[in-house]
Amino acid sequence: MTHPIQHPTDALRLDDPKALADPQATWDRLLERYPEGLAPVFLSKGVPAWLMLTPDVHQQVLQDPGTFARDVDHWRDLHNGVVPENSPLRAIYTKRRNVWNADGAEHKRYREIVVRALSNISQNEIMAHIDEVVDRVVDTFCTEGRTDLVTRYAGVVPLLVLCRLYGMDAREGVAVCSAQRQVWDGTDDALHVHAQLQRRMTALVERRRAAPGRDLVSELIAAGLDDEEIRDHLTFITAAAHEPTAHTIAHALWLLLGRKNELVQLNSGRTVREAVNTSLWHAPPMHTLIGRFATRDAEVGGRRVAAGDCLVMGFGPAQQLLRRDERLDTETNRAYMIFGLGPHACPRAGRDLGLALAEKAVQRIDRRLPDMVLVDEQWQGVSAGRLSGVESLRVAFTPADRIYEGAPWQLSASQSTPETSTETRPRTPFTRRGRWLRWIWGE
């Protein structure tokens, strides 16, 4: 099936890990080839899109929701056969009743509800949740003397904090965290576990309707959302908050541990904030994100974008271009692109929560394990084409005592999982990334 605008055959494929193994070099090539800021790309074989490269193009597109909508119904190729029936993109972009998928008045209503719900939770309570989760997670490995800070720390702390904010008790939060790791790891029963997680979210909403508490779910219920809307919002908030925060924690720790030889003290709040800022500028958790669909023909970056075309946000190339300005201080400036622009930008309450969680997690583990050193000097990252940005960060330290009495939390998937079921467990050919994204945006 033909496309209104024929992309060159050598256009970048965003699902090709080899093409994005060196993101900085890739973005430099695209910025040189398409200096006006819009590059033709393929999301997968035969599925065309436009990648936004410059801040100016992002401003034009993201500040004009009338021309560039979030509603996937405007994506022509999702409905005319260009996106294959078996493509993970179809699962990723199933329409959901949450703030991410809505436009106009519906989006404004959802956004106001979410912002109010987050703002109504006490900041002292949030900080207490973070402190407890961090200490309990550190307790799971502090006596061992060695660990991987990605899989056993950064990769679990944000999700566990979110579970607490949703109103889950410790046991349920640990079970959800363990099960969610199965989904993200793309195990054969990932979709089955995902279905269990969805039922857990629905059951949580039902419990909070009967017995409200001081938590996010109770706030969403009080705002008038129905069970499906709350479940879809919890699914989106979890996806939007966990992975970027986990990546930032891991990368900031890598930066700071590498500078310990310079006598940099991680306990300094300023030093931690600088490391978090630097991480977000130089190694954004997401280099690209499918984000807008043209509602009518428009001129963008010197090119004609046709109604129904898909546009991809390019946080990686846009921030790389901004970093060329020598006046930009990446240790203190917080105007990163990854929080978005326009009506769909991450609200300040959500941004501040993510940054506070990242900073607290970095600073507190150093207080618990002050002599941590890197076992591997090389940063173990993955290509820009994958949303997950971290694979491994191995450290050694002097074994330390646990803070909490009793058995530590069991965070491995084999030790703590949601209840089993007699249902047939579905198996799919999707890659780990496809399965993980499938959970993010709903099945």
Give 218's contacts (C-beta < 8 A, 6+ positions apart). 167, 208, 212
Q: Which domain holds residue 81?
A: 1-95+285-335
- The residue with tokens 């978005």 is 340
Under 8 Å between Cβ of 127 and 148 = no
> Is 69 among the domain residues?
yes
> Is 158 among the domain residues?
no
The pLDDT of residue 184 is: 59
Quick one: DSSP state of residue 374? E
The pLDDT of residue 223 is: 96
The pLDDT of residue 418 is: 34
> Is 78 among the domain residues?
yes
* Alpha carbon distances (Å) from 313 to 76, 285, 337: 18, 13, 9
DSSP string, 169-208: -HHHHHHHHHHHHHHHHT-TTHHHHHHHHHHHHHHHHHHH
Tokens for 114?
A: 């979410």
The pLDDT of residue 433 is: 38
> Is 66 among the domain residues?
yes
Structure confidence by residue, pLDDT tens digits, 3-41: 566 788 889 999 888 877 888 899 999 999 999 999 999
Residue ranges of the chain whose pLDDT lies below 70: 1-5, 91-92, 180-191, 260-270, 377-390, 411-443
The pLDDT of residue 185 is: 58
The pLDDT of residue 270 is: 66
Tokens for 5?
A: 């605008």
The pLDDT of residue 48 is: 94
The pLDDT of residue 269 is: 58
> Is 131 among the domain residues?
no
The number of beta carbons lying within 10 Å of the beta carbon of residue 31 is: 19
> Is 16 among the domain residues?
yes
The pLDDT of residue 181 is: 65
Give 248's contacts (C-beta < 8 A, 6+ positions apart). 276, 279, 280, 285, 354, 358
The pLDDT of residue 235 is: 83
> Is 88 among the domain residues?
yes
The candidate with the shortest Cα–Cα distance to 5, out of 294, 295, 305, 311, is 305
The pLDDT of residue 432 is: 40
Angle 25-29-33 (CA atoms, 0-180°, nearest 5)? Answer: 170
CATH of the domain at 86: 3.30.43.20
Rounded to an integer, what distance in angstroms lies between the CA atom of residue 303 and that of residue 48?
14
What's the total number of domains in the chain? 1
